Amino acid sequence: MQHNEDMLKKRAADWGDKVKIIGLSIDKTADVVAAHVDKKDWKRPIHYHRAESDCSQVYSVRGVPHVMLLDTTGKIVYKGHPATRPDLEADFDTLLKGEAITGAGTEEEAQKPAEGAGEDAAKELDFAAHNELVDKFASEIGPALQKNESISASAKNMQRAFCVMVLKETVDAATGKSTGEFNNFRDLVGKQADIDACKKVIEESVKGDGYEVILRERAV
């Protein structure tokens, strides 16, 4: 969210009101959202509280953070985790020109035949074991990273600092067979020294088997 605030401030002169970022919170109450937004002074993005809305189901949101990008006609052209869009500023510039963005999660990618078509493009995974690792990451590893002094000192100066586990399961209704993907996204954007400091702690703290590390880093 800080990255969104900074980006809108930076590009205010040439974007004007043509680019809008809407944040949709799933916190239990709206006052928690309002207090956090006021404390951080995040006034440029537009903030909403989901409340009792079924929008997560309508748009098939399976986890957070989740991003949807719309073009100038209002069409959804991307859905997915923000770690797969390392340069949102460039994406907005492209969409404002009336051009299409490409890559994972976009319409163009969805229309491509799956790699290894005719075979299983996804892998058979040990979902029970992987879910245990996800639970451990959520209850122990993730909170420990957030409390780590080195991470905190570096991340506060960075535009993006994510380390998330994403376990995706696809079940064939006809056969009951499960396939899927298990990825650890590490999305780091900021000064190189801050990236290196965060990356060192993450590499030491996040360990396990069965997942692929997707490292996206960009020094600015």
* pLDDT means over runs of 10, the chain (220 residues): 92 95 89 91 92 84 84 92 85 95 76 48 77 91 92 88 88 81 90 92 89 86
CATH topology of domain 2-111: Glutaredoxin (3.40.30)
86-92 contacts: CB < 8 A, separation 24 or more? 86/160, 86/187, 86/189, 86/216, 86/218, 87/218, 88/3, 88/4, 88/7, 89/7, 89/10, 89/11, 92/11, 92/15, 92/19
pLDDT of residue 106: 86
Report how far apart, in Å, the C-alpha atoms of 177 and of each of 12, 57, 79, 122, 170 are. 50, 24, 25, 11, 8
pLDDT of residue 120: 44
Q: Contact at 8 Å (CB) between 85 and 162? A: no
Both tokens assigned to 1: 């969210």
* Positions of E strands within the chain: 22-25, 46-49, 67-70, 76-80, 160-171, 178-190, 212-219
pLDDT of residue 121: 47
Q: Contact at 8 Å (CB) between 140 and 167? A: no
Residues 152/49/38/89 CA torsion (nearest 10 deg): 60
Break the chain into its structural domains and give their ranges. 2-111, 127-219
CATH classification number, 127-219, choose in 3.40.50, 1.10.10, 3.30.300, 1.10.3470:
3.30.300
pLDDT of residue 34: 92
pLDDT of residue 178: 81
What phi, psi does 181 have (nearest 5°)? Answer: -135, 145
pLDDT of residue 89: 93
Integer Cα distance of 165 and 211 in angstroms: 9
pLDDT of residue 109: 61
120-164 pLDDT, tens digit per residue, is 446 778 888 888 999 999 999 999 998 999 998 998 888 888 899
Comparing C-alpha atoms, which of 215, 153, 217, 164 is closest to residue 189?
Answer: 217
4-14 pLDDT, tens digit per residue, is 999 999 999 99
